Amino acid sequence: MDRTLESLQLVIARVLPHRDPALVFKDLNVVAILQEFWESKQKKKAILPSEGIIVYESLSSLGPPFVSYVTLPGGSCFGNFQSCLSRAEARRDAAKVALINSLFNELPCRRITKEFIMESVQEAVSSTSGNLKDADDPSTSIGAYHYMLESNIGKTMLEFQELMIVFQLLHWNGSLKALRETKCSRQCSLDEKMRSHMALDWIMKEQESPGIISQELQVALRELEEVRKAGHELRFYKEKKEILSLALSQIYSNKVTTSSWDDQMSLALHGYR
């Protein structure tokens, strides 16, 4: 633990030389420190300002506990893990979680190496009951995963995680095979068009199995809450929630008025809490 703290302090001294490493996590203005950290990285990589925006999102709530998300440049997302009594407190807590993860991401051990690739492929084979021989075949899920790892040697875990979001969502959505057949799985990016296509897929599944979207949404919300409270990166779970919510909104848009939409959503999610 002492070595890790010392490593983080070295990162702070390198990226934020005018800050006292021992006081960074005690500073109440952690939102400004997080912004400063990413602006510093931005300047070194000559990234356009529009690509380095940090976005905060507060969930609607009549009272505590409040929930806040922060999305970093590139797409990684974190949330507050403490029970917060105000929106400002939730925002600061989310920023602190994001800052800690951002700093950890700068450590040498967070880079993709040959050893990491071997371990990751073996774990993927075990979790999917696949075959290690598939790793050499890009047309298989294991092979595509192996290819993506090999293509990103030297990158940080957060950078790779951002690339993996599309792969994870397509696998969850059941679209990975179809996308592989069009030979564009490695070029696709997560945008509104892709979210809409995935939502349409779930609408079609709802027609075959009524209630499946509500069930999946309950699972996604539960997972999102669990990973947020654990302080982990949560974009995959948040995207699942957004896609399923979009599918539900499209299903009900032609059946209910705007005023009754919230009631329909409540009914659809009944039993989650």
Beta strands in the chain (DSSP E): 55-58, 68-71, 77-79
Task: State the first-to-last Cα distance of the chain, in angstroms, to the nearest integer.
Answer: 36
Q: Which residues contact 131 (CB under 8 A, 6 or more apart)?
A: 125, 142
So what's the pLDDT on residue 183?
A: 46
Which pLDDT score is estimated for 257? 44
d(C-alpha 39, C-alpha 272), whole Å: 39
Name residues of the chain where pLDDT drops below 50.
1, 182-187, 257-259, 261, 264, 268, 271-273
Residues 93, 64 contacting (CB under 8 angstroms): no
Rounded to 10°, the helix 261-268/235-253 angle is 120
Q: Give tens-digit pLDDT for 119-136.
A: 888 888 887 777 788 888
Whose structure tokens read 């599918």? 247
Taken as a whole, the chain contains a residue count of: 273
Residues forming a β-bridge with 70: 56, 78
